[in-house]
Structure 1
Amino acid sequence: MTKGLFNPKDYEIFLLDLKSRIRSAQIKAALAVNRELVLLYWQIGRDILVRQEQAGWGAKVIQTLSNDLKQEFPEMKGFSRSNLLYMRAFAQAFPDEQIVQEVLGQITWYHNIALLDKLKSNEERLWYARQTVEHGWSRNVLVHQIESGLYQRMGGAITNFDRALPPPQSDLATQLLKDPYHLDFLDVTSSVQERELEKALVDRIREFLLELGVGFAFVGSQYHLEVDGDDYYIDLLFYHLKLRCYVVIDLKVTEFQPEFSGKMNFYISAVDDLLRHPEDRATIGIILCKGKKKTAVEYALRDVNRPIGVSTYQLKDSLPEPLKQSLPSVEQLEMEMETIIAEVGMVDNSNTADS
């Protein structure tokens, strides 16, 4: 190879690699700074608690401390009286420094404030914190997930996964399913027909993917399958990237009926035979219906060998009034979805650089 010749292709690859490494370093640096800041706030809150408990300092000391710290560190914006009170509440709620370093330090201080404001249980706070880390939720998405009761809805579907799937996959699949699914972003009423509901979901597929959760990739609607010369159409077909399997969703605008499980069993068998790659795991079916009765669903799934879950959905006109008011608009959801996509892209870039 002749020295001194400039190869544009080699340079482009070199530049892309450098950009990826720089972005990765920036993300790691930002995370390290965030952890230090959250830990600092926790330590300040802990020290305030100790002095109030042991030295009898009253509540007025918070304002005095705020004034003195703002005077000494005018460039820092975190020493208001209200923020010092949050620091105290943060340390009181989480006395274990290890929890702060390992979990809460991985999300921003504003995320932690939302956890303190919106939730009373530390179990729920830590669950939402871990979900935020795993899925890269912005603060607004975190608040939306809390106000929509995600913690209570996760794993609430009735399934036969424990019998139809091996333990690692069955546990994960069970936790991925919600009950009910909130479809409040749709401009339809509870009297909607199945095809109208399906079309509305496809039209708002980004919001539906946000409600389904991270990992679902949309394959198609009215997905065509040919079996023995006859045509069949799956309402909605997805692929789950973490489970490594197809997910069939059958929409029903009525309460669950036992015959729904037989139809889903057929769809799963057909997808396993016609679409499933040898490295894919067993296809999962979700029957999404307007309502269900627990015993009827359990009887219908008892002797079915294919993995099926039954969940319900709620439209905006069927949601409780307080929840309706707390839910974000379609425009807000679209903005949050764009944020998630950008954050996932950043994480992907950092993973590429690390590899």
Structure 2
Amino acid sequence: MAKRPHSSDSVESSFAEVVGLIEQARQRAYQAVNSELVGLYWRIGEYISAKLAAAVWGEGVVDSLAQHLARTMPGQRGFTRRNLFRMRQFFEAYSTADKDVTALLTQLPWTHNLIILTQSKRPEERDFYLRLAVQEKWTSRELERQYSLGTFERAVLSPAKVSAALTQMHGAAAGAAFKDAYSVEFLNLQAGHTEADLHSGLLGQLRTFLIELGRDFCFVGSEFPVQVGGRDFALDLLFFHRGLNCLVAIELKVDRFEPEHLGKLNFYLEALDRDVRKPHENPAIGVLLCASKDSEVVEYALSRSLSPALVAQYQTQLPDKQMLAAKLHEFYALNAPGPDIASGSPAGQPLPRKKGTKP
């Protein structure tokens, strides 16, 4: 009996499945190798730390170790004097950390771990960036950008201000999903820019904007059409948030927030819930993205709002890191100990610790 010929589409689909299997295996292999490598650096750091702490070694012995490794293992890179001391610093920084924190270390490349280790000034800052880097799957370049943006400082000093309805609907997840300010410095907007400039710039840099919004945001449409009572309206930007399982409407304002802006946003949210939302989805959330805002005016405006909404500011320039650091220092002086803003942890493999402190 003659075999039925396969269509080219069917064959291509089969090939794509095989490619997918290969790529998945590669990714698992990379993760396994990375986990073992970071674990190795941890164990070397632990060994050096113990020798130095017990005064068995002086720092000069670490120099000799680096030279010995270079001679006996010429093909192995990364074991210079500087890196060996980095491994010691790495171990000592996390040796007393919680198990859910050390579990994150093996999920990030060594380059990411070094950035977090060297640029963080306090343990809670390290925890914050560890969790977000794993959750958002940032590249090393994006991780460095988040440091330059002062993401940790801003999260502590200015948490997202959301309506009571949004908090009631999603709890703490609402605050974690949104920011009080979004940085759009990558648009290079000039003073006096228009709403059209902002809108077209965000669309042109959509990939970067999605990274700034967060990994759970998916783009749905621009100037999304909404029809009510025979009239046509256009919503600036529409997204879907996978974690909150809802549509997110973003309205752009290139001037200061005014309370009346919420009226139009509430109208759009009602239209989305009635005519666009799927039965299994949660009610839509609205975000007013403004050039500036007065926190007290925002609080008053949101206090009586029955809609799940928030008001955020977009920033066209990188923040003054020294000013943020000074404000953060003042905050901790007044509110010690610091708030636990780095909660929740993806599953991972915890690293071993000193005897008696194993998780």
For the residues of structure 1 that align with 2:199 and 2:291, how far apart are their CA atoms?
13
Equivalent position of 1:306 in the other structure: 307
Amino acid at match of 2:165: R
Equivalent position of 1:151 in the other structure: 152
Amino acid at match of 1:158: K
Amino acid at match of 2:249: V
Amino acid at match of 2:36: E
Instruction: Give the C-alpha shift of residue 126 in structure 1.
Output: 2.3
Equivalent position of 1:47 in the other structure: 47
Equivalent position of 1:188 in the other structure: 189
Aligned pairs for 1:65-144 (under 5 A) are 65-96=65-96, 98=99, 102-144=103-145
Does the C-alpha gap of structure 1 residues 60 and 7 become closer, same or farther in structure 2, counting only changes over 3 Å? farther
Could you tell me whether the CA contact under 8 Å between 2:101 and 2:127 is conserved in 1?
Answer: no
Amino acid at match of 1:237: L
Instruction: Give the C-alpha shift of residue 96 in structure 1.
Output: 4.4
Instruction: Give the C-alpha shift of residue 237 in structure 1.
Output: 1.6
Equivalent position of 1:345 in the other structure: none
For the residues of structure 2 that align with 1:150 and 1:245, how far apart are their CA atoms?
25
The percent of aligned pairs where both chains have the same amino acid is: 36
Equivalent position of 1:347 in the other structure: none
| Unmatched segments (≥5 aa) in structure 1 | 324-355
Question: Which string of whole-angstrom CA distances, capped at 9 and with x for unpartnered residues, describes residues 24-77 of structure 1?
Answer: 222112211111111111111111111111134222122111001121211110
Question: Which string of whole-angstrom CA distances, capped at 9 and with x for unpartnered residues, describes residues 164-208 of structure 1?
Answer: 4555x3422321212221111113223212233222222222222
Return the structure number with greater helix share: 1
Instruction: Give the C-alpha shift of residue 149 in structure 1.
Output: 1.7
Could you tell me whether the CA contact under 8 Å between 1:248 and 1:283 is conserved in 2?
Answer: yes
Instruction: Give the C-alpha shift of residue 245 in structure 1.
Output: 1.2
Moved more, 189-198 or 107-116: 189-198
Partner SS for 1:219: strand
Partner SS for 1:282: strand
Question: Which string of whole-angstrom CA distances, capped at 9 and with x for unpartnered residues, describes residues 8-31 of structure 1?
Answer: 467655544443233222211221
Instruction: Give the C-alpha shift of residue 92 in structure 1.
Output: 1.0
Equivalent position of 1:333 in the other structure: none
Moved more, 202-211 or 72-81: 202-211
Does the C-alpha gap of structure 1 residues 299 and 102 become closer, same or farther in structure 2, counting only changes over 3 Å? same
For the residues of structure 2 that align with 1:220 and 1:181, how far apart are their CA atoms?
19
Equivalent position of 2:228 in the other structure: 227
For the residues of structure 2 that align with 1:279 and 1:90, how far apart are their CA atoms?
45
Could you tell me whether the CA contact under 8 Å between 1:190 and 1:315 is conserved in 2?
Answer: no
Instruction: Give the C-alpha shift of residue 272 in structure 1.
Output: 0.9
Partner SS for 1:158: coil
Equivalent position of 1:176 in the other structure: 177
Amino acid at match of 2:32: A
For the residues of structure 2 that align with 1:6 and 1:231, how far apart are their CA atoms?
52
For the residues of structure 2 that align with 1:219 and 1:21, how far apart are their CA atoms?
29
Does the C-alpha gap of structure 1 residues 7 and 38 become closer, same or farther in structure 2, counting only changes over 3 Å? farther
Could you tell me whether the CA contact under 8 Å between 1:225 and 1:231 is conserved in 2?
Answer: yes
Question: Which string of whole-angstrom CA distances, capped at 9 and with x for unpartnered residues, describes residues 253-277 of structure 1?
Answer: 2221111112211111111112111
For the residues of structure 2 that align with 1:153 and 1:269, how far apart are their CA atoms?
31
Equivalent position of 2:36 in the other structure: 36
TM-score w.r.t. the length of structure 1 is 0.82
How many residues align structurally?
318
Amino acid at match of 2:162: T
Amino acid at match of 1:73: M
Equivalent position of 1:163 in the other structure: 165
Partner SS for 2:282: coil
| Unmatched segments (≥5 aa) in structure 2 | 324-359
TM-score w.r.t. the length of structure 2 is 0.81
For the residues of structure 2 that align with 1:96 and 1:19, how far apart are their CA atoms?
43
Does the C-alpha gap of structure 1 residues 158 and 74 become closer, same or farther in structure 2, counting only changes over 3 Å? same
Could you tell me whether the CA contact under 8 Å between 1:224 and 1:233 is conserved in 2?
Answer: yes
Q: CA RMSD in A?
A: 2.5
